[in-house]
Chain A
Amino acid sequence: MKRVLLFLISNLLLISLLVAQEEKVKEETAPESISESIFDDASQKKLHFGGYGQIDYNQPLDADFRQNGKLDVHRLILFAGYEFNSKTKFITEIEFEHVSEVYIEQAYLNYQLLDNMSVKGGLILVPMGIINEYHEPPSFNGVERPNVDKNIVPTTWREIGLGVDGRITATSLRYQLYLVNGFNGYDGAGKFKGSNGLRSGRQKGAESYISSPNVAAKVDFYGVSGLKLGLSGYFGKSQSTLFDDLDKNDDAAQATADSSVIGISMVGLDYRYSISGFHTRGQFIYGKFTNVDEYNMFTGQDLGESMLGYYAEVSYDIFHNNSTVQNELTPFVRFEKYNTHNSVVSGMTANEAYDMTELFVGFAVKLDRGAAFKVDYQMYKNADETKFNSMINMGIGVWF
């Protein structure tokens, strides 16, 4: 059944591709776009470079104990895009994390199949929440990315897949739909745990394996001036190496493999609104898992049955109405709440240490649209603690 469906999908895409090509042949005499017929394209560059970087200083504060601070070139990303022709381009982001870890954040081929739709294939960002897709440091407040995104989404979440990215202009909607490989749930040891949910299961395109495809989808609405709304969904089963070389007739082995897998359903809701220098954004992510009882018993882990995270943030650009000052000074406040043990299987007690509440107060000085100096004061505690812990964060964020 799966094979038939996959065959049908690829045929549909092929047919639409052929139709598009046919139309192109008919239009040989007419220009495909005004710029191609009228303007001289010879000087257009095909290779573009860019990047972003985040350098942090995190200093925990404690009344009774001395605390060392941490300084880190947290991320340095080099972006390259190559335009093969007006419809085909390759996008890649090479990432250096903490100076010595090399990762690829994106590496995909983008083909503009139709006027309002592209097909993407390769290592792509899973569309869940705001930060996973839009994470250039000067574009968000706070030195570090929100912890809801780090622990619940979990950002930066990117997997290898194939899908479509398009828009319906009449309704100001953008849609994305991808088939991707899922999280690595078990590869000899269980990867999911209570402390960080699915985060350790991200495969990141580094010799990823697939035992069942997962679906990621997002719809963005931008029809109201200043407002952006997003709705994301992610569904599928986690992957397990126990399915490799599995005898289809061996029921016992099949049952064992099944107990190393969880079913994942995630939904995300996010908004961003700006008016007259005043900005606000918020996000809500909920993940529900099935087969967690069996998974925990099999792997010895303490994964929760559902995770929940949300935050709300407001900020204001003080110099918004002042045309003599070029820079931006933006104080902000953000409230976050997230819990990887939002609910647990019966018989297990939720670990209160995973139930976090955080408050950030800080500001960003934008020296330019792509260069920011940020400072924030972070208060955080889990449900077990009575007093908030504090940390001061300072950092530089650039985007070019």
Chain B
Amino acid sequence: MKRFLILFLIFAISNNLMAERPQVTKKFEKELSKHFDLESLTTVENKELSTNNDLFLNIYDGDKSMGLVVLTTARGRYDKFDYMIIYNLDCKVELIKILVYRSDYGAEITAKRWLSQFYTKKEDSLKYGTDIQAISGATFSAISLTKNVNRINRILESYKLN
């Protein structure tokens, strides 16, 4: 029993230590390149939309406008989580990626499949429980993410990218 304990602890800690711990900024850049399948992308802060909590960045491939990415924070039950949303030129959500998830609870919202529910262009706000599948045990973070994505969608609705 004790041997199992030791082995398990060694496994858990080494698993995390050995695994790459990319800095969040690198992670964010990696996700951008991966999504557009381009190595050299530049981002320029969109000062008109950015606020204290949301950082809006226009994405460029050279001179060509590729879309927009938002870096923002939301609050789960106990902790904040940082995430990014990539919008295409039609202001449609193409990707949501949770960059930093701090809590022990609610990590289910980081799942790709669950996040893909947000990749729609719906006229009204997305409703948690009907449009977005409810997650038992992750209620706070899931609702928080839904509310915030709806909020940013609304901000962009009145803003057109050229």
Contact = CB atoms under 8 A, between A and B. Distances in A.
Mutual binders A and B: yes
Contact of A225 (B5, B13, B80, B133): B133
Interface of B: 1-2, 5-6, 8-10, 12-13, 15-17, 21, 23-25, 28, 52-53, 55, 71, 73, 78-80, 82, 99-100, 102, 104, 107-108, 110-111, 113-114, 127, 129-130, 133-137, 139, 143
B99 A34 contact: yes
Interface string A120-151: 00000000000000100001000000000000
Interface stretch (A161-169, A193-201, A252-260, A300-308): A161-169
Contacts of A277: 129
Contact of B78 (A91, A117, A215, A323): A91
Given A33-B100, A274-B136, A38 B143 contact: no
Counting contact residues on chain A (CB < 8 A from B), the size range is 35 or more
A110 B127 CA distance: 33
Contact of A30 (B1, B25, B78): B25
Nearest to B8: A177
The 5 A-B residue pairs with the shortest CB-CB distance, nearest first, are A114-B16, A165-B104, A35-B73, A222-B108, A33-B100
B78 A175 contact: no
Contacts of B99: 33-34
A164 B13 CA distance: 10
A175 B10 CA distance: 14
A81 B78 contact: yes
Interface string A315-359: 001001101000000000000000000000000000000000000
A44 B13 CA distance: 31
Given A34-B24, A86-B102, A174-B104, A39 B52 contact: yes
A12 B10 contact: yes
A166 B139 contact: no
A309 B35 CA distance: 49
A320 B132 CA distance: 12
A98 interface: no
Given A139-B136, A172-B111, A225-B114, A38 B55 contact: yes
Interface stretch (A2-10, A290-298, A388-396): A2-10
Nearest to B80: A35
Interface in A232-277: 235, 272, 274-275, 277
Interface of A: 1-2, 5, 8-9, 12-13, 16, 19, 23, 27, 30-35, 38-40, 43-44, 48, 81, 83, 86, 89, 91, 110, 112, 114-118, 134, 139, 164-169, 172, 174-175, 177, 179, 215, 222-223, 225-226, 228, 235, 272, 274-275, 277, 279, 317, 320-321, 323, 369
Contacts of A19: 17
Given A115-B21, A116-B16, 6 more contacts: A32-B24, A39-B53, A164-B12, A222-B111, A274-B134, A320-B129
Contacts of B82: 33-35
7 contacts: A12-B9, A12-B10, A12-B13, A34-B99, A114-B21, A272-B136, A323-B130
Contacts of B129: 277, 317, 320
Given A23-B21, A38-B55, A228 B136 contact: yes
Contact of B137 (A31, A134, A164, A167): A134
Contacts of B100: 33-35
A168 B104 contact: no
A381 to B, nearest CB: 30
Nearest to A118: B104
Contacts of B6: 5, 8-9
A225 B142 CA distance: 13
A31 B130 contact: no
A293 to B, nearest CB: 23
A108 to B, nearest CB: 11
Nearest to A8: B6
Nearest to B128: A369
B17 A114 contact: yes
A23 B139 CA distance: 33
A31 B24 contact: yes
A118 B102 CA distance: 9
B12 A166 contact: yes
A215 B5 contact: yes
B9 A320 contact: no
